[in-house]
Structures are given as C-alpha cells and as structure tokens.
Amino acid sequence: MQDRPTTPRDAITLPFPDPPAPGETIEVAPGILWARMPLPLRLNHVNIWLLEERDGWTAVDCGLDTPDTRAAWDKLAAGPLKDRPLRRLVATHGHVDHIGLAGHVTGRFGAAFHATRAAWLWGRVSYLNSGQPTSPAALAFLESHAIAPAHIAAFAQDRGAYARLFGPQPTALHRIGDDDGIEFGGSTWRAIVANGHGDEHASFVAETAGVLIAGDQILQRISPVVGVFSTEPLADPLSEYLASLPRFAALDPDLLVLPSHGLPFRGLHARVAELAHHHDERLARTLGALDRPKAAAAVAPTLFDQRLVDSQWLLTLAETLAHLHRLVTLGAVRREIDAAGRILFARM
C-alpha cells in the first residue's frame, strides 16, 4: 500500500516504462503479451498476461466485471486474440480485480479455469454474498477496534461496493497446488503458492524462460495489502507474508518480474529486500506508538498519513492490525479488552 523506500540507482530497472492502453498489448518476452484492464479505484489498473500456445492463448487474471473491462476484452478478442481461442484462464488469487470477470471470460471463450482452491472458493463465495447485508460480526469487529461511528454507519450502508464487481464465477476448477509444474506458453512454470496478501496466492516462475509472473505477492512500486479483516479477526497475515519472501529471494535475481500492478521490472532480490525492510520499519514504528495501551484505530496514524486514514480507513485499519498481530505473535505485544469491550494493544 505504501511506496517503496529508496534503493540504489539501477538496483531495479524498468525495461518497459510505458504500459499498454486497455485492449492493446506489448510483447515483454517471446510469446508473452502484456495487457491492462482498467479499475475504477485509486489503483486504476490490473495487469494481465497472455501466453501464446500452439493452439491458442493462456491468460493470467482477467479484471473486474465492469463495462469498461468487458470492452477491453472485446478489443483483445478482435485484435491480439483474433482467430486464436483462449484455452485457459489462470488466476493468481481470488481478489475481485483479478477474477471478477472470470465467469464471463471462461464462458465466452470456452476456456478452462485454473486456480488454487482457496482462490476459486473466495470468488464463488464473494459473488454469492454480493447482495447480502453487512453482517453484525463485521460491524462488531469495527467497533472493537474503535473505528469512528460515522465510518461504521457508512460501511453498514454500502459495504458491498467491491463485492458487486464480482460477476458469476466458474463452476469447475483445475486446481493449482504449491510447487506444481504447469505447462503453458511453451514453458514449464512452477507454482509458488503463498499467503499473506491473499489466501493461496499463486505466482509462477519459468527459470528457462527467465520470467516470474508475480501476481500481487511481489509488486514493482507499492507494497501489497497485507491486512486483517472481519472474516478472520485474529489472523496473522504479515507473518505469513514475510515467510514467503525468502522463497522469492532464492530465485534467479535476473528474472523479468511481471507484477499485477505497476510495471515489469528486473531486480527481484533488491525488491524483496525492500519489502522486508518496509515491514521491519513499520513494525518498529508500531511498537514505538504503544507508549500506552491503544486501539488499532489510534495506532493507524503512526503508519499512514492522516488523509489516507480518513479516506481509506478500512485498509489502513487492516494493515495496522496486521502489524500489531505480528508483534503479538513475536511476544512483543499483548491484547487487552477495556471496559467498553474495545481491543487494546500494549507492550509486553
């Protein structure tokens, strides 16, 4: 969610500094095309990757279910994909900007859907729940962390804005598991399934082709959201995320990294080190903020600009909780409950 810290000049390079327009492509490696889908969000795009097969194409991720995304897919179908069918849709993970349009894409092209089981289930459950009212448990979660009543009331009124960007999801799955070898685009890709940002997030590395399709696990400029939400209120996703970084640090440092947001880049080891440093620095700031027992909402301004806390309070709360829960796991912080039933965090 935050910009990366300063790195030595040339540690990270950007071989393709200008992204494609929606519905257009750029070849980033032999047989691999880069396309972008628009997002009606502060983060305004998601990258998708098209891999050429002998008898068609494989796509990695697909975007939201919106008219703009459907129009971009129409343009791809009439251009780069013309006369060659899409055989497979592969999902990196189950977040709406990656699989919201999965049912439409697989249905339109007759493509098989490949994903981890958690990604597939997350999409299906999210779509089925998209019209449901906000749960009492979700509101109680926000109250327990001292979120302002006005924010809670607004969330109760329209918590489903993102969920409505999920279209119908595929009803059948070709399941991806950790370390599975998958043949697409003329290469064997090894799946790296990790947690932290999303449940069973799959990245794909083809050492012989020199490419890593990183998804959201390793992004070029921003750090992926690692947060605690009401669906799993005691989770420790930051510990899971940090545990995944050595797996990427063990890969070839010269790989071309294809992230889901931002630009393709080289400098994988430098970027992994940046991400680890980013969270180490925020853990130290989080611990330093606990001069007295505090609710997560009171800690958030220590990690984020107040304007961001006000405008994106749910994400800043989620990421603040992820750092607090990591400190609880490390034994540096404990949870307390005050007389009003709010959860407070205190130094050990």
pLDDT tens readout for residues 8-20? 556 999 999 999 9
Q: Cα(221)–Cα(204) distance, rounded to whole angstroms? A: 19
- The distance from CA 299 to its chain's CA centroid, rounded to whole angstroms, is 24
Give alpha helix (H) positions in the chain.
Answer: 67-78, 96-99, 102-109, 117-128, 136-144, 149-158, 237-249, 268-289, 296-303, 306-311, 313-329
Buried b (16+ CB within 10 A) or exposed e, 181-220: ebebbebebbbbbbbbbbbbbbbbbbeebebbbbbbbbbb
Split the chain (348 residues) into runs of 10 and give each run's mean pLDDT: 52 96 95 95 93 95 96 94 92 97 97 98 92 89 96 82 85 98 94 98 97 98 96 97 98 98 98 97 98 97 92 95 98 96 97
The whole-number pLDDT of residue 1 equals 53
CA distances to 126, 152, 215, 256, 266 from 263, rounded to whole Å, are 28, 35, 12, 11, 10
pLDDT tens readout for residues 290-326? 999 999 999 999 999 998 888 899 999 999 999 999 9
Total length of the chain? 348
The whole-number pLDDT of residue 158 equals 73
Q: Cα(207)–Cα(172) distance, rounded to whole angstroms? A: 30
pTM: 0.95
- Ordered by where they begin, the domains of the chain are 26-288 (3.60.15.10)
Which pair of structure tokens corresponds to residue 167? 């279209």
Q: Cα(150)–Cα(23) distance, rounded to whole angstroms? A: 40
Which pair of structure tokens corresponds to residue 33? 């095309």
The whole-number pLDDT of residue 3 equals 47
235: left (phi over 0), alpha (psi -120 to 50) or beta: beta
